[in-house]
Amino acid sequence: MNERIIIFDTTLRDGEQSPGASLNVYEKLEIARQLAKLKVDVIEAGFPVSSPAQFEAVKRIADESEVIIAGLARTKEIDIKSAYDSLRNAKHPRIHIFLCTSDIHILGKFADSKYGLTLEEKRKTILKMSVDAVTYAKALVPDVEFSAEDAGRTDIGYLSEVIEAVIEAGANTVNIPDTTGYTFPTEFGAKIADLKKRVKNIDKAIISVHCHNDLGLAVANSISAIQNGARQIECTINGIGERAGNASLEEIVMALKVRNDICNYYTDIDITEIYNTSRMVSGFTGIIVQPNKAVVGENAFAHESGIHQDGVLKSKQTYEIMTPESVGVNKTKIVLGRHSGRHGLKSRLGELGYHPSEEEMQKIYEAFLVLADKKKEIFDDDLRVLMGDEIYKEEELYELQYLHVNAGTDVIPTATVRIKSNEKMLQESSTGDGPVDASFNAIERALELKLVVESYNVRSVTSGRQALGEAIVRIRNGENSFTGRGTSTDIIEASAKAFLQAINQYLLFTKASIEFHQDELAIK
């Protein structure tokens, strides 16, 4: 008999923890709406206590959503209270509490003697903190989830004790994360089966799993967990997340669908929305989907060799185990142009999952016309990039007004930039190793900054000579990295815009953290 699997999407929380993948509130709202259209069961919208921007995003999503919205919290009262406040207007709020349970984490993170002198004492403290936190959260909302961080490396006896105690305290869902992506599918599946045997009250809660992909086993581990009793899967679109990422939603859902003959479970996901969701997340986060990525990669349905092409032409089933159309890949390209009109543009955007307001629509239409002047045919991917770049931009401290570059085979590359800041204009010139380096140097000079460029990528968004070029620049400052994206039919301009956007992100983050810490000090 087919059993239903609950899909808990954590793209907006763990996914956003991918290096450089910060999303603003508007982008998160659009992704949350698209996730609802995809029919996920739970959206983990963020970690409210961690910053005012996180709080605001969770609140805005909770205010308008019909699905379950989860907010993450440590076991601290301030975290749980903040999660509760952000979820106050949610139709279905869930507080998601986590605390580590493995010896490695306990000894590493709770070394202070105030948590106990021996491992045994520290374990007791962790158990009590978990139970107290769940009890407190349960008094605020009916739906509480508890995660035993690093459960993959936790001793099964202690893990069972913690899980039993938090269920007793009222946890409706108990999550078993393989936080470090360390386990093997057989081992992880056995751990879930073992928990089912050892924990007396396990039937009172849903078993969830949350697998990371450090060894490329996140999806395999999740499926093995399902086969051994897990009924909720935590996953992200395109598998983004901390380090090597999380289990990929689209891969799990399609594996269950395609191999239902041997794995009798189903999800409520509307698989025709998979491709749109994947593109939207990639566009907003700036994390490019690798071409050979299962289900949503550019090559996932491309048949290159003659033998394969011949086979597919004779019968698709020879080399295709699912069709591109089933996951929403539109083979017939819809092309818009200068004469498509506002209405045509709005309706295509709606089909791609975007919901601009009237005011935003005015901005996108103007940007669309500028682009349509530069390139005759505008494809879906051009629109996705336009939406990512133009519409949901937050307050910008600096804006590129003018760029002039002199480069060639026999000249020293030189760039001049003019940057608008409030009503002030900053102008500077610089040389560099090439035109991009010269532009970056000129921007740094104008802003009197020196930054580490951690990564820089340029790609064409659509095919052909008139394709839009998209540049993605990641800069680092200490523990934090910031990504900027810029597009133009001129890749030097796209690069300069991307660099400036990353700088804007960095400066806005710094400003917000200073204000946040000032608030914290004021509270104390």
Residues that bind Zn ion (CB under 5 A): 14
Cβ closest to ligand KIV, residue 63 vs residue 214: 214
Q: Which amino acid is at 480?
A: N
Closest approach, Cβ 190 to ligand KIV, in A, equals 19
Residue with tokens 């519409």: 391
3-state class of 242 per DSSP?
coil
Secondary element (H or E) of residue 315? none
Question: Could you say which of Zn ion, ligand KIV, none residue 98 binds, taking C-beta under 5 to 8 angstroms by partner kind?
Answer: ligand KIV
Closest approach, Cβ 281 to ligand KIV, in A, equals 18
Using CB atoms within 10 Å of the CB of residue 154, give its burial: 0 to 12 exposed, 13 to 18 middle, 19+ buried: buried
Cβ closest to Zn ion, residue 99 vs residue 405: 99
Question: Could you say which of ligand KIV, Zn ion, none residue 430 binds, taking C-beta under 5 to 8 angstroms by partner kind?
Answer: none
- In whole angstroms, give the CA distance from residue 273 to residue 98: 31
CA end-to-end distance (rounded Å), the chain: 56
Closest approach, Cβ 515 to ligand KIV, in A, equals 26
Residue 180 CB coordination number (10 Å) = 18
Cβ closest to Zn ion, residue 14 vs residue 273: 14
Sites of contact with ligand KIV (CB under 6 A): 14, 98, 147, 149, 175, 177, 179, 210, 212
3-state class of 45 per DSSP?
strand
Closest approach, Cβ 15 to ligand KIV, in A, equals 10
Cβ closest to ligand KIV, residue 9 vs residue 14: 14
Using CB atoms within 10 Å of the CB of residue 467, give its burial: 0 to 12 exposed, 13 to 18 middle, 19+ buried: middle
Closest approach, Cβ 10 to Zn ion, in A, equals 7
Question: Could you say which of Zn ion, ligand KIV, none residue 440 binds, taking C-beta under 5 to 8 angstroms by partner kind?
Answer: none
Cβ closest to ligand KIV, residue 23 vs residue 498: 23
Closest approach, Cβ 342 to ligand KIV, in A, equals 43
Closest approach, Cβ 510 to Zn ion, in A, equals 26
- Note the helical H segments in 259-305: 274-285
Is the CB of residue 35 less than 8 Å from the CB of residue 60? no
Residue nearest to Zn ion (CB): 14
Which letter does DSSP use for residue 388 in this model? I
Q: Which amino acid is at 328?
A: G
Question: Could you say which of ligand KIV, Zn ion, none residue 94 binds, taking C-beta under 5 to 8 angstroms by partner kind?
Answer: none
Cβ closest to ligand KIV, residue 19 vs residue 311: 19
Question: Could you say which of Zn ion, ligand KIV, none residue 27 binds, taking C-beta under 5 to 8 angstroms by partner kind?
Answer: none
Within 13 A of 516's CA, how many CA atoms are on the CB side? 14
Cβ closest to ligand KIV, residue 30 vs residue 44: 44
Closest approach, Cβ 211 to ligand KIV, in A, equals 9
Question: Could you say which of Zn ion, ligand KIV, none residue 33 binds, taking C-beta under 5 to 8 angstroms by partner kind?
Answer: none
Cβ closest to Zn ion, residue 17 vs residue 480: 17
- In whole angstroms, give the CA distance from residue 511 to residue 15: 24
Question: Could you say which of ligand KIV, Zn ion, none residue 147 binds, taking C-beta under 5 to 8 angstroms by partner kind?
Answer: ligand KIV
Distances (CA, A) of 388 to 104, 224, 280: 41, 36, 8
- In whole angstroms, give the CA distance from residue 433 to residue 253: 47
